[in-house]
Structure 1
Amino acid sequence: MPLILSLLVFFLFLEINHNFRKKSNLKITPITYNVIHASNNIFISGTLLIENKYKRIELMIPEISLKLSLYGEKDLSALTKEIKIIPKHNDMNNRSDYNWKAYIVKSNSSTEVDFTLNITDPSFADLTSHVSLAWVDVFWIDYGPSGRNANRSGFSLAITKPTLTKNTEKSFIANRYSRILPVKTHILGVLDDPIEVIKTYTKNIVNPSDIIIIGETPLSITQGNYFHPATIEPSNLAKILCRFFHPTSSLATACGMQSLINEVGPSRVTFAWIIGALLKLFRIKGYFYNLAGKQARLIDDITGTTPPYDQTIVLGPNQPQRFCDEAYKKLGINIAVVDANDLGRVKVLASSNKKLNPLLEKALISNPAGNGDEKTPILILRPY
């Protein structure tokens, strides 16, 4: 009895300590963007939504700034980048010099901010052929009851998109169970609708009997389930537990472990670790992941994803089964969300037809989508 009581007090302490840790309910996300191309100029305009999700707490934003990074096939460091932020507050006038005025976001409300990104370089005859992606980091300070907190988020903007994959039988990769076509896309982001992406890039290729597969990480990215590790403050618990995992595990770093703790709570993670460690003494492995929940297996720490998301921690997708059901209704093709790697591990997270799961697990062992920079988040599987 004293042992059980001590454990209950310990877990209660973990939960209370976790709930009082610094965290902000102020979210900044992109909602629209547009790209205008010229020979030696790229002009991007867009809008950010700033939401205060607290029901009773007002938060101030004394500072906000953007940083632009460009991705392409050549050295782009010499390009000139001009960034402007234009607030759209209904209750405050803007400064003519574009400097940010500290603003109060009232509880359970939102405001919007426009931004423009102007990229130029006269030395490039065709700038758009060299720049494929823009990554925008958003830095801001929120000021309120929990203090002065530095935050950041980021999002990708496709500048150019690849040529649609051709519908030729020679492009399909054959194995014992099926033929598979990796479909190249642009780097997906939070502004992409994954169903529309599938529809666009598989148009004129897919047959009614095919199965369309999307990777769990790209799907999760379109849902906004990623964040920079700078926004995580690892607890002592995370720093201790992460040391017991294999160095290649996404839970082997303090930030990776803290990401899991933030998702499922410190008590569940600690309980799963204790039971998992005890069962390991009897050579029974894998129970930590079973007890800690699905996210324990799906979290990708930094370097685990295609750039520019290799700088972020990516969680598993939200409601993959619901996504498959909705995609099937709209597209009329069987859809699956799969987590596969180069080690031959295949996990079907969800599918529109469960009877197809055994086929998917066998056909995807070779991981035809790859884990590198292939930019093929979609596969078309054509059964024999």
Structure 2
Amino acid sequence: MVILIGILAGLVGFVLLVLLLLEAQYWQRPSNTLEMTSGKWELAVYEPQRYVLVGQIELTNLTRRLEVMAPTVHAEVQLLSSGSLEGIQVKTRIIPRFQGAEPRNDGYWEAHIIKSMGHDPIEVIVEIEGANLSELKVAWIQLHYVSYGSRGRFPKIRHVIVPLKFPAVEDSKRWRPAQNADVLPIKTHLLTHLDDPVSVVKRYVMPHAQPGDIVTIGESPIAIMQGRYRHPSEIKPGWLATRLSYMFHPTSSLATACGLQSLIDIEGEARVLFAFIVGSIAKIFGVKGMFYRLAGEQARLIDDVTGTIPPYDQFIVMGPENSQELCDRIQRETGLSAAIVDVNDLKRVKILAASSGVSTSLLHQALISNPAGNANEQTPVVLIRPTDTFTERATVGLQSAK
């Protein structure tokens, strides 16, 4: 009997050892990581009754040593308009452009294998037709694809937002008085990842600007142009995010599991947990805001769903990266001083970065009333022109300092 129990115990131990080895081998193996790039897009046809958008994108297999399959790829398009969409028709085509591919007229996507670390190009064509397309603002293109391989089948979506309406420079001409400055909210098209901040300044701001002006851009539009936004469907909240999100104020962007997980993905679980523990202790002693000081700059900058204008109201938008470098680049390429700012209707002005020599007090005074607005004004850029009084006072101050 003892021998039998020993044999059974040995078999159980052997089975457990095999299972542990299989589990270890599983986690060491690469997963089937297939990504789709946002690509480059152009309005190939821009006629009153017909628009044609063409996107050049890639399916990229980031998995080492393993092939990954893309058994399906298809597109859906949501149009945003200031009027009705009645009578407007949308057609989409996805054309494989990789070696050996044969485009089909019936629109069927043939399952495709992407080799390890491979980049296979595809073309997406969106045709929009209607009696009058002038009220269309943007095309939100959702590219659905499936990553199929060693870990199973994973449906994924790449979101691409393409502007369809472009305001004229003359649409921005209403200067407003502010303390020690005049300000001009500047209307732009809906900014997307396809835009470059410097190009936006050159296109919309330079026709209004003169030497000594300061151009300010909201932090969310900058982050959007940098592609720093995620759809909640792409985020998998972990244990920490689902537990801690309940502890934040209901209006905070960290009060949802996906919002908090976005911060955790950037800063790491250890830092967020440490900031929460220390922040909670500090609050007991009457010290507020310690969590945001310890959790990193992104903790204050993340905008959860509903935090920005459509269609970005469906996304979580992170704060921008390399803000100071961008301000320096704008000044270098346009000659205008620049600042990246976070402003709201609660008279809160936060300067993320600014060109050297820019007065932060002037920025606060000029932006305190939030001239860019928090609704759908679509004026993410504000041009500030210091008045002569402020300029003279600043000059006197510099001379006194010398």
Instruction: Give TM-score, length-normalised by structure 2.
Output: 0.85
Residue of structure 2 in register with 1:71 after alignment? 80
**Contact preservation (8 Å) 2:172, 2:187:** no
Q: Secondary structure at 1:239's aligned position in 2?
A: helix
Distance 1:58 1:273, change over 3 A: farther
The 3-state SS of whatever aligns with 1:373 is coil
8 A contact 1:153–1:227 mirrored in 2:
no
Contact conserved, 1:166 with 1:205, CA < 8 A, in 2?
Answer: no
- Could you report, residue by residue, the CA deviation over 1:83-136 in whole angstroms, capped at 9, with x for unpaired residues? 100011124333342211222223333122111111223xx2xx2322121111
Mark the CA change 1:60 to 1:354 in structure 2 (over 3 Å): closer, same or farther: farther
Alignment of 1:41-80 (within 5 A): 41-80=50-89
Residue 349 in structure 1 maps to residue 358 in structure 2: no
CA distance in 2, matches of 1:322, 1:57: 38
Which stretch shifts more, 86-95 or 330-339? 86-95
Q: Which moved more, 1:210-219 or 1:38-47?
A: 38-47
Q: Can you list the C-alpha shifts for 1:257-280, whole angstroms capped at 9, x where unaligned?
A: 111111111111111101101100
Tell me the residue number matched to 2:111: 102
Q: Does 1:366 align with 2:369?
A: yes
Aligned residues: 361
Q: Is the 8 A contact 1:167 1:204 kept in 2?
A: no
Letter aligned with residue 138 of structure 1: L
Q: Which of the residues 304, 309, 312 maps onto 1:309?
A: 312
Note the 1:99-248 alignment, pairs <5 A: 99-121=108-130, 124=131, 127-165=132-170, 171-248=174-251
Partner amino acid, structure 2, of 1:331: T
Aligned pair partner of 2:321 in 318, 321, 334: 318
Preserved CA contact (<8 Å) 2:80 2:139: yes
Assess, with a 3 A threshold, how the Cα gap between structure 1 residues 299 and 45 changes in structure 2: closer, same or farther: same
Cα distance in 2, alignment partners of residues 317 and 291 from structure 1? 18
Q: Which has the larger radius of gyration?
A: 2
Where structure 2 has 5 or more consecutive residues not aligned to the other structure, the ranges are 1-27, 388-402
Q: Specify the code of the residue in structure 1 equivalent to 2:382.
A: L
Q: What SS class does the counterpart of residue 129 from structure 1 fall into?
A: coil
CA distance 1:167–1:191, shift in 2 (3 Å): closer
Deviation at 1:165, TM superposition (A): 3.5
CA contact (8 A) 1:29 1:50 kept: no
2:91 to 74, 82, 85: 82
CA distance in 2, matches of 1:200, 1:355: 23
Q: Distance in 2 between matches of 1:253 and 1:354?
A: 39
Seq. identity, %: 39
- Secondary structure in structure 1 of the residue aligned to 2:338: strand
RMSD: 2.2
* Letter of the 1:304 counterpart: G
- The answer as to whether partners of 1:189 and 1:222 remain within 8 angstroms in 2 is yes
In 2, distance between residues paired with 1:101 and 1:23? 19
Q: Which runs of 5+ in 1 are unaligned?
A: 1-18
Q: Which residue of 2 aligns with 1:31?
A: 40
2:390 alignment counterpart: none
Relative to structure 1, the CA distance from residue 343 to residue 62 in structure 2 (aligned partners, 3 Å threshold; closer, same or farther) is same
* SS at structure 1 position matched to 2:369: coil
Mapping of 1:256-275 within 5 angstroms?
Answer: 256-275=259-278
Distance in 2, matches of 1:23 and 1:224, equals 23
Equivalents in 1 of 2:129, 2:219: separation in Å?
36
Query: What is the deviation of 1:381?
Result: 0.4
Give the Cα–Cα distance (whole angstroms) in 2 for the partners of residues 159 and 166 of structure 1.
17
Structure-1 residue corresponding to 2:378:
375
Q: Counterpart of 2:375 in 1: which secondary structure?
A: coil
Which amino acid is the alignment partner of residue 163 of structure 2?
A: A
In structure 2, how many angstroms separate the alpha carbons of the residues matched to 1:293 and 1:45?
A: 39
Q: Provide closer, same or farther for how the CA distance between residues 199 and 88 of structure 1 changes in structure 2, counting only shifts above 3 A.
A: same
